[in-house]
Amino acid sequence: MGSFSIWHWIIVLVVVVVVFGTSKLRNVGKDLGEGIKGFKEGLKGDEKPGQLGSEKREDAAEAAREEARRKDG
């Protein structure tokens, strides 16, 4: 009762194909694949590892300059 046989899974697969159709299932698979690919590319990152740190330093230096201008002005 706790496990399903192969025949149960075949029946489920047939019902899903009949309900959704093969073209819709193909589109869902394509969208899922593109989403996973985009996620992996996002994890990998397009920036160089040291680039983000230098940008933060530049932003901090700019903020310090702005603060100095405010105090002088």
pLDDT at 47: 58
pTM for this entry: 0.43
- The CA distances from residue 24 to 21, 65, 69, 70, in Å, are 6, 57, 60, 60
Q: Which residues have C-beta within 8 Å of that of residue 28, sequence separation ≥ 6? A: 20
Rounded to an integer, the average pLDDT of 30-47 is 87
**pLDDT tens per residue across span 54-63:** 566 777 888 8
The chain-wide mean pLDDT, for the chain, equals 82
Domains of the chain, by residue range, sit at 6-72
Asked if residue 66 lies in contact with residue 58, where contact means CB atoms within 8 angstroms, the answer is no
Distance between CA atoms of 70 and 72, rounded to whole angstroms? 5
